[in-house]
C-alpha cells in the first residue's frame, strides 16, 4: 500500500510523509521535531519507523526541525550538495562559510560519524519521544552535539538523476525558486506515481514534463494576485513572491491545470497556500474552474493542504 499524508503546508512549515512497500520517507521537515512527531501520531504514523528525510531546499519553512528530527531518529538526510551547504551556512553562527571551510566541517562530521554507531537501535513499535531522545543521544558524542549542523548521515542526490530509498524510487527535478538548488520530486512505489512541486516561481517545460502520468499531483497554489497586491507585505517582498523565482499564484496553477496538465491524477492537492495572501476557497475555485474546462476528467479529486493540521491520509 502507498500512503501519502501532508502533515503541514504553507509558509510556517512544510512536511509530508510518503510510505510505499516497507519504506517511509519524510519530505521536508519544516516544523519543530516535537510538532512533527505529534502530527505523525495524529495520522497513526510511528516516528520511529521513518527511514529517511528528503529536503527540497534550505528555506526555513522546509528545514526548521531537520537537525533535531534526524538526530533523534538516527536517520539519513537526502539533499543536493548545494542545498546541504546552504543549510549549513544558514546554521553557521556568522553566516559565512567559504567552500574550503564547508569541506572541512563536512570532513569533521564524517570523522565523527565513523566513531559513533550510525543509527541508534530503534524499535519499530511505538516508542515514547523521550526514550528516542535518550537512545539517539547516547550515539552522538558531545563534539558532534556542539555542531548544530551535525547529522547522523548525509546522502547527496542530483536534480535529473533518479535514485532510490528502500522501496521508493525518486526523480528529483530542478524548480525555479530563490534557493541554492531547489527541487521537486516524482516519487514512485508499487506502480503509484506522485508528483510534488511547491516553491516555484513559474512552471518551466522541464517541470511540466515531470508532472505527467501521475496518480497524485501536489502543486503549489500560493497566492491570489489581488490579495497579494493589496495585502500587508512590503513592496520588495511582493516583488519577490511574484518573481520567476518566487511562488505560484492561483492563476498560474489554474492555467497549468486548464492547459498543459494531462488530467490523469486521481488526486490534485493544492499546497503552500499563503495565510496572508490567499484563501482556501479562492484557490479551490480557481483550480476547480480550470479542471471543469477539461471535458472527460473523471478523477482529479481536488483537495487543499493546510498549515494547521495534517490532511487525511491518501492511500493507493
Ligand atoms: Zn516554502
Ligand atoms: Zn522556499
Residue extents of the structural domains in the chain: 3-315
pLDDT class of 297 with cuts at 50, 70, 90 = confident
Provide the pLDDT for residue 111.
87
What CATH class is the domain 3-315? alpha beta
In the reported structure, the alpha carbon of residue 11 is separated from the centroid of ligand 2 by a whole-number distance in angstroms of 8
| Ligand nearest to the Cα of 176, by number | 2
- Percent of the chain past pLDDT 70, that is, above it, reads 90
In the prediction, which pLDDT does 160 show?
A: 97
pLDDT band at 141 (very low <50, low <70, confident <90, very high): low
Extended strands (E) in the chain: 3-8, 15-20, 23-27, 52-54, 77-79, 154-156, 163-165, 168-174, 183-189, 192-197, 216-220, 267-271, 301-304, 314-315
The rounded Å distance from CA 172 to ligand 2 centre is 16
Percent of the chain with pLDDT over 90: 78
Q: Which ligand is nearest to the CA of 10?
A: 1
Cell numbers representing residue 218 in the block:
501536489
Distance 113 CA to ligand 1 centre (A): 30
Spacing, Cα 40 to ligand 2 middle (Å): 23
pTM: 0.90
What is the CA(159)–ligand 2 centre distance, in A? 17
Of 60-69, 182-191, 290-299, give the lowest mean pLDDT range: 290-299
Ligand nearest to the backbone CA of 240: 2
Predicted confidence (pLDDT) at residue 26 exceeds the cutoff of 70: yes
Convert the pLDDT of each residue in 196-254 to its tens digit. Answer: 999 999 999 999 999 999 999 999 999 999 999 999 899 999 999 999 999 999 999 99
pLDDT for position 142:
64
Burial class of 37 by CB neighbour count within 10 A (0 to 12, 13 to 18, 19+): buried
Q: How far is the CA of 196 from the centre of ligand 1 (A)?
A: 13
Whether the predicted pLDDT of 93 surpasses 80: no
Which ligand gives the minimal distance to the CA of 220?
A: 1
Q: How far apart are the CA of 12 and the centre of ligand 1, in A?
A: 8
pLDDT at 116: 66
The predicted structure's pLDDT at residue 95? 64
16: left (phi over 0), alpha (psi -120 to 50) or beta: beta
Measure 258 CA to ligand 1 centroid, in angstroms: 24
pLDDT of residue 257: 97
Return the percent helix, strand and coil in the chain, to nearest 5: 35, 20, 45
Amino acid at each position: 500500500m502507498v500512503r501519502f499524508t501532508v502533515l503541514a503546508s504553507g509558509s510556517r512549515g512544510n512536511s509530508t510523509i510518503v510510505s510505499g512497500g516497507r519504506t517511509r520517507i519524510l519530505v521536508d521537515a519544516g516544523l519543530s521535531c516535537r510538532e512533527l512527531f505529534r502530527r505523525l501520531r495524529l495520522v497513526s504514523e510511528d516516528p520511529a519507523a521513518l527511514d529517511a528525510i528528503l529536503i527540497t531546499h534550505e528555506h526555513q519553512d522546509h528545514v526548521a526541525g531537520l537537525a533535531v528530527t534526524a538526530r533523534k531518529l538516527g536517520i539519513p538526510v537526502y539533499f543536493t550538495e548545494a542545498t546541504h551547504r546552504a543549510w549549513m551556512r544558514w546554521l553557521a553562527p556568522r553566516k559565512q562559510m567559504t567552500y574550503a571551510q564547508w569541506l572541512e566541517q563536512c570532513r569533521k562530521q564524517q570523522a565523527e560519524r565513523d566513531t559513533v554507531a550510525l543509527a541508534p537501535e530503534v524499535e519499530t513499535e511505538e516508542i515514547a519521544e523521550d526514550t528516542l531522545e535518550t537512545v539517539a543521544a547516547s550515539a552522538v558524542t558531545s563534539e558532534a552535539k556542539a555542531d548544530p549542523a551535525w547529522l547522523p548521515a548525509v546522502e547527496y542526490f542530483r536534480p535529473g538523476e533518479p535514485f532510490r530509498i528502500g522501496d521508493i524510487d525518486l526523480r528529483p527535478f530542478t524548480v525555479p525558486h530563490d534557493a541554492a538548488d531547489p527541487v521537486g520530486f516524482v516519487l514512485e512505489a508499487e506502480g503509484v506515481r506522485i508528483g510534488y512541486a511547491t516553491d516555484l516561481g513559474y512552471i518551466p517545460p522541464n517541470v511540466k514534463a515531470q508532472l505527467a502520468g501521475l496518480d497524485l499531483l501536489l502543486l503549489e497554489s500560493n497566492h491570489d494576485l489581488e490579495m497579494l497586491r493589496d495585502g500587508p507585505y512590503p513592496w520588495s517582498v511582493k516583488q519577490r513572491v511574484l518573481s520567476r523565482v518566487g511562488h505560484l499564484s492561483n492563476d498560474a496553477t489554474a492555467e497549468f491545470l486548464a492547459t498543459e496538465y494531462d488530467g490523469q491524477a486521481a488526486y490534485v492537492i493544492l499546497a503552500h497556500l499563503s495565510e496572508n495572501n490567499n484563501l482556501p476557497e479562492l484557490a479551490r475555485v480557481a483550480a476547480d474552474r480550470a479542471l471543469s474546462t477539461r471535458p472527460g476528467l473523471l478523477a482529479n479529486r481536488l483537495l487543499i493542504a493546510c498549515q494547521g493540521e495534517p490532511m487525511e491520509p491518501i492511500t493507493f
